[in-house]
Amino acid sequence: MPRMLALLALVVLIASCCVAKSAQKSQVKATLWQAGQATEPAEPDSLAAIALRLLASADDELRLIVTPEMVQGILDQDIALELVWSETFTADTAFGVKQEIDRVLIPLTGEYGPPDDLASAVILFGDGKGYVTGPNQNNFARPDLLKLRELLKL
């Protein structure tokens, strides 16, 4: 069992590195939303690498219909990190499913934000036409969420 977990961790690490490298070919814009106010944080490439790692290592797909109103509510009322790439690219999502994406939204507070212990994260992603239904959840997100919070100075 420990060998299997180590192997799984290695596969996730390699996959997330490959996804991050392919995504870096296009430009990424990072936006930190705080109750409707948008700011551009420093180090967008580092933030993008963490977001893609969270997405690639997600272990759950939520049965949640994502609407434009829901996304706008997150941007207007909560703290969230939004990353938008200049081009779509193929990324790994929950269970290794490959998906064309051009954006990622990670709520950091509010209804879809992580619990107080930062154990999990909801990761919404879009395919060039807006955010798609069935966002992913990473139930082992604490190290990456701590790094995001550090980079975002939250």
Structure tokens at 109: 């507070």
What pLDDT is attached to residue 107? Answer: 98
Q: Provide the domain limits for residue 120.
A: 2-152
Q: How far apart are CA 38 and CA 104, in angstroms?
A: 15
C-alpha distances in Å from residue 116, one per residue of 74, 111, 142:
18, 12, 10
pLDDT at 20 over 90: no
What pLDDT is attached to residue 4? Answer: 46
Lowest-pLDDT range, 16-25, 56-65, 124-133? Answer: 16-25
C-alpha triplet 125, 82, 64: angle, nearest 5°: 35
Lowest-pLDDT range, 1-15, 55-69, 95-109? Answer: 1-15
Report yes or no: 98 and 91 within 8 Å, Cβ to Cβ.
Answer: yes
Which helix (H) or strand (E) is 91 found in, with range? strand 79-92
Structure tokens at 44: 């967008």
154's CB contacts (< 8 A; 6+ apart) are: 79, 108, 148
CATH no. for residue 139?
2.60.40
Q: What is the pTM of this model?
A: 0.82
What pLDDT is attached to residue 42? Answer: 94
What is the total count of domains within the chain? 1
